[in-house]
Amino acid sequence: MDAASLPGVPDAFQRLWTPHRIAYINGETSPGDGQCVFCSAPGMDPEESLVVARGELVYAVLNLYPYNSGHLLVCPYRHVANYDEATVEEVAEMGAMVQQAMRTLRAVSGAHGFNLGMNQGKVAGAGIEEHLHQHIVPRWGQDSNFFPIIARTKAMPQLLGEMRELLRESWLTDFNG
């Protein structure tokens, strides 16, 4: 038997064990009642929810599994899967909410740039393909250090709850008049 095939034999890789992510991988992240997480989020207790801003047709929520601190999702309240199924009004409000999210993230975190995107369908990388959502990922100069590339580890400098409060406070006072 080859020693490298034995469990627990050291190799050249460091491992960051993240057992909490298995629920996401297994698709077990929906609420206990089986409802869509994006349909449930707006109705949750504000202190337990990651919703940071609400519009008439869409809302902004922090990503529970962020690529960077402040990674937001803009979702319509209506349960719709694809961008081309959204109404003209939903698309317009999503665009305005994305702009507002970018301004807020610059104000609270000094973001230098953003990755914006939508993954439509499982084959395109959608983790939750049943409910439309647009990603707003803040970026900073040199924020891609060696961790994600070498160790597949992301350093997150701010807790979700702290970022939620910063965004809520700034969104309400600086951009909603």
| Contact in structure between 75 and 38 (CB atoms under 8 Å) | yes
> Cα(49)–Cα(28) distance, rounded to whole angstroms?
18
Q: What is the dihedral of CA 28, 33, 34, 40, to 10 degrees?
A: -90
* H or E stretch covering 66: none
Cα–Cα distances in angstroms (integers) from residue 49 to residues 32, 66, 70, 88, 119, in the given order = 15, 15, 15, 28, 23
Query: Is 133 part of the annotated catalytic residue set?
Result: yes
Would the CA dihedral through 46, 154, 137, 122 be positive or negative?
Answer: negative
Q: 71, 131, 133, 135: which one is catalytic?
A: 133
Residues annotated catalytic, as ranges: 133
